[in-house]
Structure 1
Amino acid sequence: MMRVWFRRGVVAGALSVAAAVLTMAAGDLWVRAEARGHVHTVAAAPAAPVALVLGAKVYPDGRPSPFLAARLEIARQLLRAGKVRAILVSGDHMDWGYNEPGAMFQWLVDRGVPSQRIVLDHAGFDTYDSCARARKVFGVSAAIVVTQSYHIDRAVALCRRLGVDASGVGDDTVRIYREPWRNSVLRERGAVVKALADVLSGRDPVFLGPREPGIEAALNTG
């Protein structure tokens, strides 16, 4: 009897692993197909009204991590090149002791970006929420999404599926941080599965909130 249960357990485990692998493969195929033809360099990126910069780790002293600083530098370059006219920084501000959008805003202002051109989204708790809120709360219909290259296909795919005509620019400069980069690439496999589940569920962001006029004001800044 024990052998029968053992064999059943082995079969069930093997089926679960196979299902997980197939789901990851399906998610990977989906994001690649959605993003194909929409990922560019800064120089080749098509113009859009807004750069959407996705949040990442901020240190306790308020400094953006190298991964986040690299994203912000791309957004700064896009604005300077006239590719975008406003920057939407979207990140985690779940509690007052941790403020990704605030740190992103300060980094850009310290490097010469006019504060009137920057809009803060304090409830971009993940990529799906950032894209959904860009469309539903800030009224963004077209954007250049900025993140790391391992993340850019998923970011573009989600934004496009959520109603934003998105292209993307991905950063590769932080590959020099080999272990964090490798860990992020591995985590991305699971994140793709979550993205697929989010799209299929059609869930609202964690915090939807009322419509905010910040983007219109930033775009109309002289």
Structure 2
Amino acid sequence: MVVAVGGGYRYLHLHPARQTSVAAQPVVPAVKAVPTASAAVPLVAVTPDQAFPAAVAGYTRVGDTAVASCTGADSVGPTLAGMITQGHGCLGLDFALYQDSSNNEYSLAVFTMKNPVDAATIVGVLGVRATDYEVAVQLPPPGSALRDLPDSSGHIQEYQSYGHLVVVGIAQWSDGHSSDYQKLVNQLTPLLDAVSKQAETHDWR
């Protein structure tokens, strides 16, 4: 659904709703309740190494990190934090920053939810809020070739859910311009799909 770090990462303040994003997509269908994993299955979060390939065709990972809290104010907005708290909870949150050959910036986040229904619900609700940025955009680590883009730079974001996982991608042009959003969507989607596919292989069932 399209709508709008450790080791050297910093978090930007969450972007206000006034910023531009691409058009929203339909809400995912309702999902019947699914029980959490049984006691025989360990409840563990996907790790950054498991979630984020070092390289995807056309993209290079600049850095990654894991944070202990899925609801920290530096990481997520109040709506998403509330949904996580009111649901079954979240086991962990991973971030990665990627760049392409033109130094466009792609922030990826993977949430490991305790219940897959919560994952589907989050994507269903937030996936249609085109300008509600609920996941922080990452600043490049020191020494990278990437710019610290200002809050006013254009963004697009996309949500996907796979099993217990919520995967979020946010893309920005290297110069921060606010146009050509569909092209930026077309560039983000293959990377988001690759991260989702890899992370899904490590999702507990």
Does TM, normalized by the shorter one, top 0.5?
Answer: no
The structure with the largest helix share of the pair is 1
Report the structure number with the largest CA radius of gyration. 1
**More RCO (CA 8 Å, sep 6+):** 2
